[in-house]
A and B are shown apart, each in its own frame.
Chain A
């Protein structure tokens, strides 16, 4: 491009330092793309004025879908015609984020031809984020991505694109096949993913073990986290090898166990597995000596979210242990029951975690036909919203009311 890039002293500050800079990337793209060039100018103006110059487009999309496109227009189209339309496309990523270099080149070719050339690999939901295109390019891009077997992801009040850790493909701690579950749920809930019908968004994230590398316990409405229900596997020879090489097992492993369920007599480690809370610390520190048990499955948790309407929430356990075997029908049936209740009773923009807080976990579990079990809580009497009615005599309630 012959024209020089706009002067951007404010943005230039964000190029300083040893870390990657989005400004540097936009400048690189701006040498070829008028959209990226105008984006630089618009951003610089916003930084100077401390005012955003984006308008939210609520209608743009592709025929038949209600999600996957986030409409954006600038309110300064005459000054920055390149970003007059600057819609974002969310593309459903492959489970585990595995690509061939060939397919990445093809995606980039489409985006350089029909969009700004700017991408975000990947967004917080895990999707491929393609930043900036015009309304008339949406259908052609959708068609061309479809020819590469890519589909749009979720946006709006729908199932957001399910995502997972790399699971069994690369990690020895994976207690179930996260990629298979992610693919299966994505295929099963296509209608819910593309046609928003919920009070608000609903996210699935699959982690293969309690290390929870995709932070599902904090970032997804339904967290499916791998675990085991038998004993941690111990190789005592490997334990001694760690000790011989200088590891202070009492201090660094036993002393850091949150449930104090371990001991080390100088030769062997012993674990009281019924007290283990699956924190993974000992296994992470001594990977050659300790491994998750052999009877593996997952814990299902519900309700986490980032602070948008209400404050941040972590997920609560609703199924302490379930075997993860195709076709995962028990999980799908439970998800449908949860959605039915939430859609029926949930308020607009109320996440399922907020809904649970409003109606009470006990009522929620009862309506969703989920049995209350002691493993849902870490300590007795910790959870104030689950009541075991069989432990109360009828008179107890009367006394309370009278008092």
Chain B
């Protein structure tokens, strides 16, 4: 079985690679991890990895008609 950190790293890379191209939902990440790591990964592990990424501030939740996970950035709508 993979560790939470290993899954979190793989998820972070996936979000980084997709930045500017596609917004990814938490389920997109979980499905991709289970597809990549097979029996070495499950939904519970993915949940824990997402929690770690968000609690550490490496990723943030965003809402644009649906909820996504993205790298922290200044949003276009924000006023200074």
Contact = CB atoms under 8 A, between A and B. Distances in A.
A278 interface: no
A64 B51 CA distance: 7
A59 B66 contact: no
Contacts of B67: 66-67, 156-158, 196-198
Nearest to B69: A66
B55 A58 contact: no
Contact of A195 (B26, B57, B64): B26
Interface string A55-85: 1111111011111000101100100000011
Contacts of B77: 55-58, 71, 73
Contacts of B60: 59, 61
Contact of A59 (B26, B54, B62): B62
B1 interface: no
A87 to B, nearest CB: 11
Contacts, number: 87
Interface in A301-328: none
B65 A61 contact: no
A197 B26 contact: yes
A56 B65 CA distance: 10
Contact of A63 (B30, B31, B57, B75): B57
B50 interface: yes
B78 interface: yes
B26 A85 contact: no
B38 to A, nearest CB: 16
A100 to B, nearest CB: 32
Contacts of A348: 25, 65-66
B61 interface: yes
B75 A58 contact: yes
Contacts of B54: 64, 66, 195
Contacts of B61: 61, 65-67, 156, 195-196
B75 to A, nearest CB: 4
B71 to A, nearest CB: 11
A344 B35 CA distance: 13
Contacts of A156: 61, 63, 66-67
A196 B26 contact: yes
A195 B79 CA distance: 26
B55 to A, nearest CB: 5
B36 interface: no
Contacts of B26: 195-197
A74 B63 contact: no
A252 interface: no
Interface string B22-40: 0001110011000000000
A191 B26 CA distance: 13
A59 B51 contact: no
B63 A197 contact: no
Contacts of A340: 43
A176 interface: no
B79 A58 contact: no
Nearest to B29: A197
Contact of A191 (B31, B47, B62, B70): B47
Contacts of B62: 58-59
Interface of B: 25-27, 30-31, 43, 47, 50-51, 54-55, 57, 60-67, 70, 72-73, 75, 77-79
Interface of A: 55-61, 63-67, 71, 73-74, 77, 84-85, 135, 155-158, 191, 195-200, 340, 343-344, 348-349
29 contacts: A57-B78, A58-B62, A58-B63, A58-B64, A59-B62, A59-B70, A59-B75, A61-B60, A66-B61, A71-B75, A74-B79, A77-B79, A84-B79, A156-B63, A157-B63, A195-B26, A195-B51, A195-B54, A195-B61, A196-B61, A196-B63, A197-B27, A197-B30, A198-B27, A340-B43, A344-B27, A348-B25, A349-B65, A349-B66
Please provide the 7 A-B residue pairs with the shortest distance between their CB atoms, ordered closest to farther.
Answer: A66-B61, A196-B67, A55-B77, A157-B67, A197-B26, A156-B67, A77-B79
Given A56-B64, A59-B62, A67-B67, 14 more contacts: A58-B63, A59-B60, A60-B75, A63-B55, A157-B63, A191-B51, A195-B47, A196-B26, A197-B25, A197-B30, A199-B66, A348-B65, A349-B65, A349-B66
